């Protein structure tokens, strides 16, 4: 996987984290408070605004949402592949 593909996968992972949070009906404030970060920082993570989101934050979010990071990566890869197949960006 080259750097460009890795950044795209990270973007899809961030979007998946946002989807999971919303699906669990949690606010950014609730999650941010639990992880000791600001809601605006969480927002920037969820919207893929960081190119180097620390791995420990992905791990903390996955743990908080009670979802394995492996599952999040797998789902993100599938969504990325679908978008690639249909040239959606």
Buried b (16+ CB within 10 A) or exposed e, 18-48: bebbeeeeeebeebbeeeebeeeebeebbeb
For 12, other C-beta atoms within 10 Å of its C-beta total 20
Residue 89 has pLDDT above 70, yes or no: no
Q: Which domains does the chain have, with CATH numbers?
A: 3-85 (1.10.260.40)
Residue 87 has pLDDT above 90, yes or no: no
Note whether 13 and 73 are within 8 A (CB).
yes
Regarding pTM above 0.75, the answer is yes
Q: What is the share, in percent, of the chain residues with pLDDT greater than 70?
A: 98
Residue 68 has pLDDT above 80, yes or no: yes
């Amino acid at each position: 996987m080259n750097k460009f593909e890795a950044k795209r996968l990270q973007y899809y992972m961030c979007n998946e984290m946002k989807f999971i949070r919303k699906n669990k009906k949690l606010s950014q404030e609730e999650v941010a408070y639990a992880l000791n970060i600001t809601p605006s920082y969480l927002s920037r993570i969820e919207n893929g605004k960081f190119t180097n989101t620390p791995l420990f934050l992905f791990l903390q979010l996955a743990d908080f949402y009670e979802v394995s990071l492996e599952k999040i990566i797998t789902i993100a890869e599938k969504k990325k592949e679908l978008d690639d197949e249909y040239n959606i960006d």
